[in-house]
Structure 1
């Protein structure tokens, strides 16, 4: 049966019947960041073939689609945030679209609908591109602006696994490429330059033209052209919800004083400093220009979690320039080179433009959000945009731009940074990575999760007419404690106890989502994932996939291959005949309570997903309040309730 179309209505998602819908799903998938089949960071590469790659086969070959999508349906998920990248669509050159890939992506969307999955498209990026340590933009963008990507490593302009990692060393972690270090690229020259041009070319380098357009227009129009290509191929599919704006965008040097080095919270930047080289915009521009600079280095204090000064580092000691031409920021009057040093000419170069102060939210994000809405709505006028900010800005409370486009969704991201960066979780000895405050019991951790997620949810006030809040990313690393669970699995352990910490962490996260009534797409499901510290999701040793081929022993069992399934496979109301007021699930007692205000004028039943995984011995169902008919179908993990009267309804599902 076709999925009923879902639309945004104020702060809610509602289906064609008028039922309130809860969207609960996953990101599909982590390896969509890299080409198929051998483009993962576990393979060495110099990126010389960047124009000739293919992403057909990501997130999985079509021959595997029914298996993976069927598993997601079995686990109760009803939405996927489907990853693609600018590079996947336009890797060959400006305006040269990979039509085979576009047809493939459209077919994945169609197949998802057959398996009960709504889809929204995420044009993903991390630290700009694969060539600068992440994913996203095609390599020819560097050539277009005059940067030589083959010099990035020699100039310390990018921190890239394929250039840092010793692939002959089979031991796992390596000091030359520390775990979760890829984010340091945001401060390095290649990233800072590309994001500054992408968001602020018109403001900061107005005379920098490419093919008759300002550099900002050239880059953004190529990106928007890729959204247009995907939108035109999937506009006819009723299960497609809309498009993300751009995953966790970087901000470049927008809003920073030219010589400012961020060593800790300040009036200029109230966020906590991050470990690594504390480069100012001027430091980075000097390095790109071929100058050697000495900069402070910060190291995290593991007792307080605070990044503290730990000496100096010489950057670009060989004096390698990454420019094939002159530097457009130097040409525009930001700085000048005198006596082998970069001297600032305008300290406020990235703060004031065209005679006024500028900020990334209103001068950068806002115009692009409106353009994304315009481009996709040429093909389907009802599509919302799923809007998100930069990762660090969201944590620091950066505002959404004003005004936001009509029909927008707050798609902010959230992670427990302690678990994510340290790859460890102990519910009796945890701490808040952002403040260092200790947490000695699960209740304290859950309460913080609720507070932090409520902060993401509060952004909805910036949206005209309200907006649903969907946490577009959250999740945990599965290689906690250097892959301790993998070692036990390899030794023959199959009991759920090996995943106890993973399950506990996820359970607290979903408890918080339930408490706030948030929609969500967990990061992530990677079909090619491996229980290998060098590989994981196939990208920079991240390993957050809820599925791994290495754990799949019975292909006929949809649970086989799942990791810590009880942490994420939870009961919830897919659709409510009325308006939801409360959800609470206690995994320890196997008890689910759902409260809602029933509306019998809605001609479709409330549908609750009741997974066998949480209720292995069966369950009883009790309905209190308004009169209702009950349809229990444990074989398909579903309970339906048709309210006959208006008024409050409480559904209690109790495991036996």
Structure 2
């Protein structure tokens, strides 16, 4: 284990006092706290791998031929160019090992983990959709995929990574343009996936080009959350007992049956991880319960109109009633067409939609019986909503919500009845979350529960329900205008506006400095959910939990921009200046007093310029395969130096940034200026029992003075081994604090001519880092060259890793460094 991996196997990471801590944590001592930063792996995890016989005509005997095969794999896309390719194999239940190879080709995993480690990352949010585990039918688990996952995670552990798992979904299922639930689940909930697009129940990437939703409409998939298919599935999933009591499967409410299948699938995965040995806690820290949950119809006050909460509208935007009518295969006039601009929703008129052949989204009687036989479940006798022709079948009509004959809503407030408290998160999400985590902890007792509410939503208070208290908040954050417009824009405080803290005009921010402050304010508000008594945190400091931003990032297929973020033309696909600035603005929000952990969305090995991340037109990967030439690709399989390990990186000046990985004390503030490389760090040294008092009384001290630096390459630890020797020596060590800080080559690489530093330069605070295992080029060692000032203590550097040793006993210590000029 290198000096960059001070968290050791067997350590239990604690989650209390608003921080991640390395155990043991005592309230009377200065603790060792952690900032965990890394990436999501990755968009390709959401979709099945290519069939092995697809490229069987390509010989695999030489490196060049293997690389040619690899290039065929790159550039995958959910825009499959033909709707049959989306459904055919799924209708047959897929095949054993269907998702093996996603998110990483196993033979290339060492390269990717080595690259991510070089970039300073130590945390991975690992994406596993339900479909990957149970695509063949209820209770039929893909053991080959689980075996593959175990092997990949063992490699991650070997490189020192910690992992938390995301039981991933977007828009409920891949067959509603997202990811998550297998094909058979949509059948079990009454839907025919092949007829979703034609009725407007979902706009599928596979159909965008032929239906006019390609190109700049690429992010239209997000609107599917508010269309019929997703709203129906989410409502049934969370609240089938409450809203569709006549819909039962195998003697249970349809919602409870589906929730049980999903929970047991991930429970089986946890059991396999436990039985494999050496992964739980040592590598796998914990679990999300569900990525970006959505409430479906729950909470809509009037089904006749588009809900006010549905502010993001792009393309056809039917009201809930219009969606239900279309879902029965009936034509609808006057469907609103919308766009979304920097000033908010913009109407583009109205259109008519006529489903082909009058076919609706609901399974016919004959299709329902075929699905029962194919997948092995049984609907209850009351689930018989068809007409005399065996068509129709809308569960919401059967439960009296609307009348297909008059095309009118009968109970406009069915999902938000007057006088009843049906708060989605408290009444529906929280019980499901608790049930899911209790199953996971049967296999993984020490699992950290990563609390992930709906995007920008405030989670309910769950502190009393989790007796183990091992909780972390894992909210997501994207700058909406930048994402939707694919250009740097004068941003809005979306969090503040959604939570009613600001008006739209109050939420507008102009200028780069104002935008950065806005990012910090939004992320601070999200972070506060882990501490507020009415949210996941309790009033006791030990119940104030840490935060990791589970997804954060920005698109790389950006436009140039001008006032109010209006497009000014596309940026060249190899020009990452605009995306780099946008990424820096977003990630700066995680610094300052927020000092947040996070996992970037995303690292996607199969990213290409033409297809982006391969998923619904997104292009957020910090790596792209298209920035490798053919010769580069050969080198990248066995990288020899720093240059080859940086191949494919884009925007690295923004996301490969210095940060404290582990400190004795708690990080009070981080500052980094991308353009100059200036970095500042303040560490709070107060014991935990003084946390509440000290956090309110701290104020910024004057800049640290320059200290003479006696540098020895032996000062930096080579591994994380704890040494025990003379008791007096150990006592002295307990009086010292130590911080491990990532100092990236990207910003601070020394020139080949800098072999040593003079005494005069050391006196001025210059540090020339010692060599690491990576060389730069032409035989030169990769080293960093920085000017350092500390308020107390001394520093040493090996490769990209700085060790700062300082005395305990004071209130705080401070550091500043910059590139030696």
| Aligned-residue offset at 1:567 | 0.8
**Does the 8 Å contact 1:129/1:138 carry over to 2?**
yes
**Does the 8 Å contact 1:577/1:602 carry over to 2?**
no
Aligned counterparts of 2:439 and 2:21: Cα–Cα separation in 1: 24
Partner of 1:632: 797
* Structure 1 SS opposite 2:748: coil
Partner of 2:658: 571
643-652 or 539-548: bigger deviation: 643-652
Aligned counterparts of 1:344 and 1:321: Cα–Cα separation in 2: 18
360-369 or 438-447: bigger deviation: 438-447
464-473 or 316-325: bigger deviation: 316-325
User: Is it true that 1:407 corresponds to 2:574 in the alignment?
Assistant: no
User: Is it true that 1:362 corresponds to 2:402 in the alignment?
Assistant: no
| Aligned-residue offset at 1:595 | 1.2
Cα separation, partners in 2 of 1:315 and 1:115, compared to 1, 3 Å? farther
Return the match for 1:597 from 679, 684, 695: 684
Aligned counterparts of 1:149 and 1:91: Cα–Cα separation in 2: 15
* Structure 1 SS opposite 2:239: helix
* Structure 2 SS opposite 1:55: coil
| Aligned-residue offset at 1:224 | 0.5
List alignment gaps of at least 5 residues for structure 2.
2-7, 25-30, 52-75, 366-392, 498-503, 561-568, 688-732, 751-784
Aligned counterparts of 1:606 and 1:233: Cα–Cα separation in 2: 36
Partner of 2:69: none
Return the match for 1:52 from 94, 104, 119: 94
User: Is it true that 1:529 corresponds to 2:571 in the alignment?
Assistant: no
Partner of 1:127: 171
Partner of 2:21: 14
Aligned counterparts of 1:303 and 1:217: Cα–Cα separation in 2: 41
User: Is it true that 1:84 corresponds to 2:91 in the alignment?
Assistant: no
User: Is it true that 1:643 corresponds to 2:643 in the alignment?
Assistant: no
Return the match for 1:609 from 742, 746, 759: 742
Q: Could you report, residue by residue, the CA deviation over 1:588-637 in whole angstroms, capped at 9, with x for unpaired residues? A: 33221111134763887311011111112311333213xx353321x2x0
Aligned counterparts of 2:260 and 2:493: Cα–Cα separation in 1: 41
| Aligned-residue offset at 1:519 | 1.2
Q: Could you report, residue by residue, the CA deviation over 1:15-62 in whole angstroms, capped at 9, with x for unpaired residues? A: 236410001111111111111127731433241111115110011111
Partner of 1:197: 236
Q: Give TM-score, length-normalised by structure 2.
A: 0.72
* Structure 1 SS opposite 2:551: coil
**Does the 8 Å contact 2:591/2:671 carry over to 1?**
yes
Aligned counterparts of 2:736 and 2:41: Cα–Cα separation in 1: 33
Partner of 1:332: 399
Aligned counterparts of 1:67 and 1:624: Cα–Cα separation in 2: 39
Partner of 1:619: 786
* Structure 2 SS opposite 1:372: helix
Q: Give TM-score, length-normalised by structure 1.
A: 0.89
Partner of 1:43: 80
5 Å matches for 1:14-163? 14-16=21-23, 18-37=31-50, 40-44=77-81, 45-50=85-90, 51-53=93-95, 54-163=98-207
Aligned counterparts of 2:172 and 2:128: Cα–Cα separation in 1: 14
5 Å matches for 1:534-553? 535-552=611-628, 553=632
Partner of 2:771: none
Partner of 1:503: 580
**Does the 8 Å contact 1:83/1:121 carry over to 2?**
yes
Aligned counterparts of 2:492 and 2:441: Cα–Cα separation in 1: 44
Aligned counterparts of 1:578 and 1:548: Cα–Cα separation in 2: 38
**Does the 8 Å contact 1:256/1:281 carry over to 2?**
no
Partner of 2:284: 240
Return the match for 2:514 from 431, 435, 444: 444
614-623 or 240-249: bigger deviation: 614-623
Aligned counterparts of 1:470 and 1:303: Cα–Cα separation in 2: 28
**Does the 8 Å contact 1:258/1:344 carry over to 2?**
no
251-260 or 576-585: bigger deviation: 251-260
User: Is it true that 1:587 corresponds to 2:636 in the alignment?
Assistant: no
* Structure 1 SS opposite 2:301: coil
Aligned counterparts of 1:245 and 1:603: Cα–Cα separation in 2: 39
Alignment RMSD (CA, Å): 2.6
Aligned counterparts of 1:157 and 1:439: Cα–Cα separation in 2: 36
Aligned counterparts of 1:371 and 1:303: Cα–Cα separation in 2: 41
Partner of 1:561: 648
User: Is it true that 1:348 corresponds to 2:355 in the alignment?
Assistant: no
**Does the 8 Å contact 1:161/1:177 carry over to 2?**
no
**Does the 8 Å contact 2:162/2:284 carry over to 1?**
yes
Q: Could you report, residue by residue, the CA deviation over 1:61-101 in whole angstroms, capped at 9, with x for unpaired residues? A: 11111100111110001101110100000001011000010
Cα separation, partners in 2 of 1:262 and 1:601, compared to 1, 3 Å? farther
Cα separation, partners in 2 of 1:91 and 1:175, compared to 1, 3 Å? closer
* Structure 1 SS opposite 2:590: helix
List alignment gaps of at least 5 residues for structure 1.
168-172, 490-497
| Aligned-residue offset at 1:137 | 0.7
5 Å matches for 1:390-405? 390-391=454-455, 394=456, 397-400=457-460, 402=462, 405=466
Aligned counterparts of 1:14 and 1:398: Cα–Cα separation in 2: 24
Aligned counterparts of 2:124 and 2:416: Cα–Cα separation in 1: 38
Aligned counterparts of 1:216 and 1:157: Cα–Cα separation in 2: 20
15-24 or 85-94: bigger deviation: 15-24
Matched pairs, number:
622
Cα separation, partners in 2 of 1:531 and 1:249, compared to 1, 3 Å? same
Q: Could you report, residue by residue, the CA deviation over 1:279-301 in whole angstroms, capped at 9, with x for unpaired residues? A: 33333222222322334414236
Q: Could you report, residue by residue, the CA deviation over 1:273-331 in whole angstroms, capped at 9, with x for unpaired residues? A: 52343433333222222322334414236462333362344353753222125222222
**Does the 8 Å contact 1:577/1:643 carry over to 2?**
no
Return the match for 1:383 from 436, 447, 452: 447
**Does the 8 Å contact 1:414/1:471 carry over to 2?**
yes
Cα separation, partners in 2 of 1:311 and 1:201, compared to 1, 3 Å? same
